Amino acid sequence: MELKEAASTLSALAQPSRLEVFRLLVKCGEKGICAGDISQQLGIPKPTLSFHLKELTHAGLVDSERDGRSIIYRLNVGGMKALMHFLTEDCCQGKPEICSPNSECC
C-alpha cells in the first residue's frame, strides 16, 4: 500500500459512523451482514448508511454481494491487512511483531 492509498483509507475510517460500521463488520466475519441490520444495530438511517458503505467500499475496506433481494456487506480482509501492514512495517525499528496489542513496544 502506498502513502496516498493509506491516507485515503484512513480518511474513510476517520468518521465515527464509518468506524462503527467497520468495527461491526470485523465482528461479523465472513458471514457478513445486510445493510438493514447494520442500520438497525447502529442506529444509522439507511440513506446515510448507504453513503458510508460506499466510502468504505471505495477505500477497499468493505466488499458486498447480492443475496436475493438483500446486499450482504463484509470486511475486505485484504484491505484491512494491507492497511495494518502499512501502519506497522516500520514499527519498533522494523520489528512489526512487537507492535501486536499484547506486546510491549521498544
- Tens digits of per-residue pLDDT, 48-73? 999 999 999 999 999 999 989 989 99
Q: Where are the domains of the chain?
A: 3-99
| pLDDT of residue 78 exceeding 60 | yes
> Distance of CA 8 to CAs 35, 48, 51, 55, Å?
23, 20, 16, 10
Stronger pLDDT, 106 or 56, i.e. the higher one: 56
Q: What is the pTM of this model?
A: 0.85
Q: Kindly indicate the confidence band of residue 89, based on its pLDDT and cuts at 50, 70 and 90.
A: confident
Average pLDDT, the chain: 90
CA atoms within 13 A on the CB side of 28: 21
Architecture of domain 3-99: Orthogonal Bundle (1.10)
Stronger pLDDT, 104 or 5, i.e. the higher one: 5
| pLDDT of residue 33 exceeding 90 | yes
